[in-house]
Structure 1
Amino acid sequence: MILVILQARMTSPRLPGKAMAPLRGEPMVWRQIERIRQARCITKVVVATSAEPADDPLAGYLVSRGQTVFRGASENLADRFLRCIEAAGPATHVVRVKGDCPFVDPGVIDESVRLAAASRAAYVSNRVRPSFPKGLEVEVATVRALTAATHEAEPDEALARSPFALVRGRPDLFSQAHCSAGRDWSHLDWRVKTPADYAFARAVYDALHPADPGFCMRDVLDVLQGRQDLARWAA
C-alpha cells in the first residue's frame, strides 16, 4: 500500500483556521484531498492532526465527509507519525504532504512514487535538491526506513522532528533519489501561511479550478504571467 499522510491543523500562528478557509466553496483541506486523490499511484489518504480541542472542528468535518483522520498527542512528532502509519494498515511507502500546500500536484506525487519504485531508494523527494516552487514539495519514504530512523534517533530529536526529516538527514544510512522540475522554480513560494498567501490561492483557484480541478504547476505559472496583481508570487 502507498499511504499519503496529509498534515493539517487549525492553530497556524499567522493564519489561524486556514485548513478550513474556503477555496471555491470548499475548505482548503478538502481541496488538497481532492487533488491528492487524483494521483494514480496512491492507495489511501489519511489526514493527521492533533488531539487538541482546537482541531476538533477540522477532524469532525473530515470524518463527516468520510475522510480517514488520525489524531495524536502534540508531543513526540516521530512517534505520532509511526502510530498514524500503523493505524492506517500495512504500507510499503508513505507520502508526506503538508497542510499549507493547496497546489499540491498529483502528477508530482505520481512521479515521486514511481521513482521510489524504480530506484528502490529509501527516500525520494523534490526538496533536497529544490527545483519546484515551495508548496509543491513531496516526500516519499519506505516504512522500513521511517521506522529505523526513528529508532536510531536520540530522544530529543525524535520529539521534535518527523521520521521523514530523520531519514532525510541520514543519506549515509538511507539511500536517496531526487525529482526535478527540469527548471529551477524554487525561488517561488506558493505555500499558504499568511492572509496575503490565502488571497493568492483564492485568485488562482478562481482562475483555474472551474475549468480543470486537477490543474498543474504549469497552469499556475501561465496564470501568473498575465496577472500583475499576483506578481509577488511569480517573481
Structure 2
Amino acid sequence: MEIKTILITQARTGSSRLPGKVLKEIEGQSLLEIHLNRLEKCKKVSEIIVATTINEEDTLIYDKAIAWGFSASRGSESDVLDRFYQAVKDKKANWIVRVTSDCPLIDAELVDKVIAFAQENEVDYCSNGFIENYPDGQDVEVFQFSALETAWKNAKLLSEREHVTPYVRNNSDYKGGNVFTAINYPCESDFSKIRMTVDEIRDFELIEILISNLGTEKSWMEYTNYIIENNLTKVNNQIIRNEGLLKSLKKDK
C-alpha cells in the first residue's frame, strides 16, 4: 500500500509584528512563492496544501496558491488545529507534515529526511525541534493523521489549538506522556542562534541578503555557513525564538 504524505503550510497576511510578511517580495517573488517552490522539490510529499484563514484579506493567499498550482484551504484564524484537520480530513492521508510559510528558505531535502526518519521509526510524531539545534526557519514536524485527529478531538488549551502540535508533543513519550510515541530528528551541531524565519523587518532584511547573494536554490547548510562566515547573526539574533507560542502559553494560564 502506498503511503500518502500531505504537507500543510499555514499562511496568513495578519501578523502583529510584520503584517503581510508572506507576500513581501524579494527580487519579484513573494516569500510565500519562494517557500512553496522550495517545498515542491520534496520527493516524499504527495500534495502540498496552503492552509489560510477565512478572513477576507487572506483570499489573496488562497487565490495565489491555486494560481501557482498548489492546493489551498481556508479555516479558522485562531484555531489552527481545526484549520489543519479540516484541510486533510477527507484526503485519506497516512502522514501529515507541518511547516509554516514564514520560513521561506525551508529545505526540501531536510523535510524528506525528517519524513523518512518518522516513517522508518513508525512513531506518531517526529520533529527536528524537540532539541532546537537547527536554525529557526528550518523547523519540520511529521505526524500520523491519527495523531492529528486525536489532538483535534481532545485538545482544549488555547496554545494547543493555536499551534497545532503542542497537545501531541506534551502527551508523547518524549515528554513523559503515554498517548503518543515521538522522536527527535537530530542535528550534529548547534545552529540554534541562526534565524531564517521572518517575524520582524530585521529577519526580512537577512533573507534579502541571503537571496541577493546566494539565490533561492541553496541548501539550509549553505545559507547557514554564509550567515556564520559573514557574521550576519547580528542582523536579527536579538529576536526571541517561538515568541508566538510563548504568548499563547501565557494566555493558557
Q: TM-score, normalised by structure 1?
A: 0.90
Q: Does structure 2 retain, via aligned residues, the 8 Å contact 1:167–1:174?
A: yes
Tell which deviates more after alignment, 170-179 or 135-144: 170-179
What residue number does 2:248 align with?
none
What residue number does 1:128 align with?
130
Q: 1:195 to 1:44 in 2, by over 3 A?
A: same
What residue number does 2:190 align with?
184
- Per-residue displacement from partner, 1:175-221 (whole Å, max 9, x unpaired)? 01111120111122221111111111011011111xxx431122112
- Residue 104 (structure 1) shift: 0.7
Q: Hey, what's the Cα distance between the residues in 2 that align with 1:140 and 1:86? A: 16
- Residue 36 (structure 1) shift: 0.8
* Residue number among 90, 93, 113 corresponding to 2:92 in the alignment: 90
Q: Does structure 2 retain, via aligned residues, the 8 Å contact 1:101–1:191?
A: yes
SS of residue in 1 equivalent to 2:89: helix
- Residue 167 (structure 1) shift: 0.7
Q: Hey, what's the Cα distance between the residues in 2 that align with 1:110 and 1:159? A: 26
Superposition map of 1:17-28 within 5 A: 17-28=20-31
1:65 aligns with 2:68: yes
Structure 1: tracts of 5 or more residues without a match: none
Q: Does structure 1 retain, via aligned residues, the 8 Å contact 2:96–2:143?
A: yes
Using CA pairs under 8 Å that are at least 6 residues apart, name the structure with larger relative contact order, 1 or 2. 1
Runs of 4 or more off by more than 6 Å in structure 1? none
Q: Hey, what's the Cα distance between the residues in 2 that align with 1:135 and 1:75? A: 21
- Residue 166 (structure 1) shift: 1.3
SS of residue in 1 equivalent to 2:171: coil
Q: 1:169 to 1:206 in 2, by over 3 A?
A: same
Q: Does structure 1 retain, via aligned residues, the 8 Å contact 2:18–2:201?
A: yes
Q: Between the two proteins, what is the percent identity of the paired residues?
A: 23
* Residue number among 200, 206, 210 corresponding to 2:206 in the alignment: 200
SS of residue in 2 equivalent to 1:15: coil
State how many pairs are aligned: 229
Which residue type is aligned with residue 70 of structure 1? S
Q: Does structure 2 retain, via aligned residues, the 8 Å contact 1:132–1:184?
A: yes
Q: Hey, what's the Cα distance between the residues in 2 that align with 1:67 and 1:11? A: 21
Which residue type is aligned with residue 115 of structure 1? F
Which residue type is aligned with residue 35 of structure 1? R
- Residue 75 (structure 1) shift: 4.1
Q: Hey, what's the Cα distance between the residues in 2 that align with 1:161 and 1:231? A: 29
Q: Does structure 1 retain, via aligned residues, the 8 Å contact 2:44–2:112?
A: yes
Which residue type is aligned with residue 81 of structure 2? A
Which residue type is aligned with residue 161 of structure 1? E
What residue number does 2:13 align with?
10
Q: Hey, what's the Cα distance between the residues in 1 that align with 2:125 and 2:131? A: 13
Which residue type is aligned with residue 191 of structure 2? W
Superposition map of 1:13-162 within 5 A: 13-87=16-90, 89-154=91-156, 156-157=157-158, 160-162=161-163
Structure 2: tracts of 5 or more residues without a match: 238-253
Q: CA RMSD in A?
A: 1.9
Q: Hey, what's the Cα distance between the residues in 2 that align with 1:128 and 1:186? A: 12
Q: TM-score, normalised by structure 2?
A: 0.84
- Residue 157 (structure 1) shift: 4.5
- Per-residue displacement from partner, 1:66-116 (whole Å, max 9, x unpaired)? 2211111324332221111125x1110000001211121112101110011
